[in-house]
Amino acid sequence: MTHLRVAIGQLPVAVGDVAGNAERIAETMDWAEAHDVDVLVLPELVLTGYPVADLVLHREFVAEAEEATARLATRAGTTTTVLSTISRVAPRRSWDTVDRDVSISAVLLNRGEARGTYHKVLLPTYGLFDEGRNIAPGGEPGALWRLGDVVAGVSICEDLWSGDGPPEAQAAGGAQVLLVPNASPYHRSKREGREHLGSRVAWRNGVPLVYANLVGGQDDIVFDGSSMVLDGDGRLLYRAPAFVEDRAYVDVPLPAARAVTAPVRTVHTVPLRERPRAHTPACAEPLDELVEIWRALSLGTRDFARRNGHEQAVLGLSGGIDAALTAMLAADVLGPEHVLGVAMPGPETPEEELQDAHDVAVSLGIGFAVVPLDALMAGSDEALTTAVGQVERTDPEALEAGPRAARLRAAVLNAIGDAHGHLVLATANKTELSIGAATLRSDAVGGFAPLRDCSKTLLYRLAEHEEVAHGRIPDRVLHKRTSAQERLGATLPSYEVLDTIVQRYVQYGEGVEDLVAHGLDAEVVVDVLGRIDRAESARRTSPPGVTVSPRAFGTDRRMPITNGWRPSRRADSGAVDPDHPRFALDPETAEAPDR
Amino acid sequence: MTHLRVAIGQLPVAVGDVAGNAERIAETMDWAEAHDVDVLVLPELVLTGYPVADLVLHREFVAEAEEATARLATRAGTTTTVLSTISRVAPRRSWDTVDRDVSISAVLLNRGEARGTYHKVLLPTYGLFDEGRNIAPGGEPGALWRLGDVVAGVSICEDLWSGDGPPEAQAAGGAQVLLVPNASPYHRSKREGREHLGSRVAWRNGVPLVYANLVGGQDDIVFDGSSMVLDGDGRLLYRAPAFVEDRAYVDVPLPAARAVTAPVRTVHTVPLRERPRAHTPACAEPLDELVEIWRALSLGTRDFARRNGHEQAVLGLSGGIDAALTAMLAADVLGPEHVLGVAMPGPETPEEELQDAHDVAVSLGIGFAVVPLDALMAGSDEALTTAVGQVERTDPEALEAGPRAARLRAAVLNAIGDAHGHLVLATANKTELSIGAATLRSDAVGGFAPLRDCSKTLLYRLAEHEEVAHGRIPDRVLHKRTSAQERLGATLPSYEVLDTIVQRYVQYGEGVEDLVAHGLDAEVVVDVLGRIDRAESARRTSPPGVTVSPRAFGTDRRMPITNGWRPSRRADSGAVDPDHPRFALDPETAEAPDR
């Protein structure tokens, strides 16, 4: 049986940094060449980073990518490199009246030349994806490429998942192997889904599949890597590790040559050589689900901080679990000596909260400062009460201490961040962002909010997990459920109920009737959904964070701020105890993976 | 010659408020019926509001719209109403692998029934538009409708502008009139562009065109109305006024019946009756450009405030022109007695700035409060310096007064907003948001930033315009160019140069080479472009505002925060005096209108 030596370069790339990415690509091409690799597959948009968003509207950016591609081509030797980038194409109209003239492409580099270009056909335009916005679709799903005596198909990410799309057209046309660059973001259960679907594509078509994915964080997205090589029966030959750079090569058994029924473009015509089989590296073991989430949060936070030039971070340490986990994350990725936790006790802060904040800082080894709000509160009391009292229709009595303290805490954190160039980390979680509670506690202020897509229920699980946080957060902070629950206020249900409602409403688009049918109390549901909708304004000005769920607030779920929709009950099905629904709660179920 | 009595309902609608919108629609249907109107055309998504964004992922929302449509149908009499809404359709795959099952539709209501549905074919997915995200495209661009003895075509907004799309298919198939619901947002020069294109469509096809547009603000979009009726020679018969609700009916001369070459669906078969010609109402006069912009800002701000439940607003009054114009806008739309201007003099504030702030408040008749920052600055000095000095690698000396005062000002404004439910208005302009200067002065804090898409150059023009601001802002504030310019810092060019660079980079996607070719200094250009890119993080957490240019920051221009691209000079073409480029500056040119 003939074997093709394929390599995967699971590279971290920086959006926009074409020169830096090109350097890394060149180095990987040299490595592949040195190992006598036949085909090196790199991730989607490895040259420009993903997503490029409206960068492609800048002509100079597209030109820069094209020039770098030409330079990389001159470097290519006998290894064929599948290099994904953006390419200028003839203007094309599709779903609207705008001509688009940039494609997401895979350029085949061999022996000093760019020998051909595949243009991505299917352009994801949902969830976190916006490709339909700026990208021209490719029009040749069945394109085939001759690599010596092997016929190959190339498709890009979304192209793979149609069920009857480019890979099927290519295999039906005679492809013996499918080469697939990808930019597939992480969310819970995503890897399992990808492997299942990849396996079906390979098996359905009877051809091996080489799947190269990006790794690294980009604003609210984190790419997990987890690249893979599958044989023609859909069996996993190689799985790259998650959340780290990787490169590996595998000798893949090729199916016999097929009847070729479509035009084939020649990359080169030098037949495969006989050579000893390469040792196949071991598959990386899948990670425990919570460890995986923690790694996603870490990588996303690290890359955001580093790539935006922050070596240090500052955050508010409240003594609660959200702040403790945010601090732990920052300590892990920046080093504890580069993290400053600031406790800002106000008039209403119990002494033990300050002690807990201190203990968290000591336990993690991060810097710790106490900025008492007394002087600030007194200063604002005086100034605000007098000034506002002079104005008709404003009431100095309304200036409650609680929200005012929150605003002053935000000012303090931002002032420290301004002064030292520290990244201000917001400690808000998904549950509190969903109902607007984060704003009231200054938890949503900063440049990055690592935990913004983690529900409170998930955070408790992370904090208690052996391999994530064990022994690193003081027990008292860990077991503070009651006080945290109290902070939610008497009118809200438990975190478990709340997270179940948030997940089903936000993630699955369920409504009042569905949730009531699920056993939840109608009044509670209507109240919570109303809070979620009304909190959109506060969410819109909150910083980005790492997406770990199948639907995060933000670019993944785009809702109007001004929104007159009030989900309501149409018929009453009887009262239900809000904390004891008729069915099992599922605040933590991840959706069936999509792609 | 036969005449068809067509009516336009240029209605303000609230996104999500199906019940409220339905009420207004019902009332308009009754009015049309009472005036013996043959066809009433309502704007795009008049029932749900536009844009619906991810609301359509909520099944209950789609069901609510469908139920309301059914109820409105029962109300229809002999007038045919073209009612645009969302409709559940058979799942359809298009540009990616997601099945979409909601269309943007126009339902034809007549004599108690919904007699048929047109589904929008072309789905704008660029700029402010995201329809490709959730909407299934219609597949019958040439659909025809029998209204008695008249054959009509219906198309929706983007459908109109292809040049060879649904209107052409419909007219070629036999349509004698084109009925077009629209949700066409305002930007400068948009109306002229629309009328030019509408006229070409009518003339090219030789059929009258009835164009109904929305009016009102929705987050960062404002719809200007300016609906129109054109005859078959492309002549304007009626133009609705801009920025206000309107309804009007016109007897439109129909071209002779054409050979019908495509299937026609029957709405009804009752022939047109003879009756006296209706008086055609006068066309609204186009507005002066600056007055038009001011009306756009006013309507967008009014609707944001009202629809989000704010009757009152608070803003920081610095004594500068941005704050003065924001205050004037708020006074205009909420009433001066509902606006509170807060001056927050810090250690560096000159006495005359405070006087100017006071004079602005007096001149506009708004509430005025002075909150001196002394006590707050002293409180924060004490607390921060001690606390931060204890921590390694932080330097109390770095806590500069300027940025800290800005953060404290933000806290004060937010605290007042929290206390009274006031909308906090940010005073930032486009120039300062573009280079990141707004954050440093707390100008970008709040719930809405009315002027965020207005360049400083434009603001000066607005402030000096006879019909906009004449006599309402004290002279000293108006003529403060020098101090404003000084605040930009010595390293930046004049506002005119800056605005020219911003406009050409952001709006046209020009790069360093283009700008240098335009006569600008390369070093200045590279510096400014770098600032624009780096300020993305601050812009991302800034509040929305009214879009008035062809490309606003925000949903209209989506850039990565983490962005390694550094536009740079490739070859040097010699130094240029940054304030005296070789060519005319054009900080104020609006792009050729698109649609």
The interface predicted TM-score of the complex, written ipTM, equals 0.94
State the pLDDT at residue A578: 58
pLDDT digits (tens, 9 = 90+) for B515-550: 999 899 999 999 999 999 999 999 999 999 999 999
* A375–B382 CB contact, under 8 Å: yes
Contacts of A41 (CB under 8 A, 6+ apart): A6, A7, A8, A9, A82, A179, A180, A181, A210, A211, A212
Contacts of B337 in chain A (CB under 8 A): 392-393
Distance from CA of B280 to the nearest CA of A (A): 33
Backbone angles phi, psi at A403, to 5 degrees: -60, -35
| Mean per-residue pLDDT of chain A | 92
Please tell me which of the candidates A60, A158, A563 has its beta carbon nearest to residue B15.
Answer: A563
Q: Is A323 on the interface with B (CB under 8 A)?
A: no
* Of A64, A120, A158, A456, catalytic: A120
Structure tokens at A225: 């890597």
The yes or no reply on domain B290-489 and CATH 2.40.50.840 is no
State the pLDDT at residue B579: 63
- Mean pLDDT to the nearest integer, B29-33: 98
* B540–A543 CB contact, under 8 Å: yes
State the pLDDT at residue B556: 94
Rounded CA-CA distance B450/B296 in Å is: 10
Please tell me which of the candidates B16, B399, B513 has its beta carbon nearest to residue A565.
Answer: B16
- Mean pLDDT to the nearest integer, B229-239: 98
Largest Cα–Cα distance in chain B? Answer: 91
State the pLDDT at residue B592: 37
**Domains of chain B by residue range:** 3-286, 290-489
* Of A64, A66, A131, A157, catalytic: A157
* B132–A134 CB contact, under 8 Å: no
Closest chain B residue to A65, measured at CA: B565
Q: Is A362 on the interface with B (CB under 8 A)?
A: no
Superfamily of domain A290-480: HUPs (3.40.50.620)
Q: HSE on the CB side for B89, CA within 13 Å?
A: 23
* B124–A376 CB contact, under 8 Å: no
Q: Which of residues 412-431 of B touch A (CB under 8 A)?
A: 412, 414-416, 418-420
Residues of chain A short of pLDDT 50, as ranges, are 572-573, 590-595
| Threshold 0.90, pTM exceeds | yes
Q: Is B227 on the interface with A (CB under 8 A)?
A: no
| A157 noted as active-site residue | yes
With beta carbons less than 8 A apart as the criterion, state whether B13 and B46 touch: yes
Rounded CA-CA distance B3/A539 in Å is: 52
CATH code at B3-286: 3.60.110.10
Which one of B438-442, B557-561, B583-587 scores highest in mean pLDDT?
Answer: B557-561
Q: HSE on the CB side for B490, CA within 13 Å?
A: 0
Rounded CA-CA distance A207/A154 in Å is: 12
Radius of gyration from C-alpha coordinates of chain B? 27
State the pLDDT at residue B403: 83
| A283 noted as active-site residue | no
* A380–B412 CB contact, under 8 Å: yes
Closest chain B residue to A506, measured at CA: B58
Please tell me which of the candidates B96, B410, B560 has its beta carbon nearest to residue A15.
Answer: B560
Cα B140 to chain centroid, rounded: 30
Active site residues of B: 44, 120, 157
Contacts of A339 (CB under 8 A, 6+ apart): A312, A313, A314, A315, A327, A330, A331, A364, A366, A367
State the pLDDT at residue B1: 77
State the pLDDT at residue B395: 72
Whether residue B439 is predicted with pLDDT greater than 70 in this model: the reply is: no
With beta carbons less than 8 A apart as the criterion, state whether A225 and A243 touch: yes
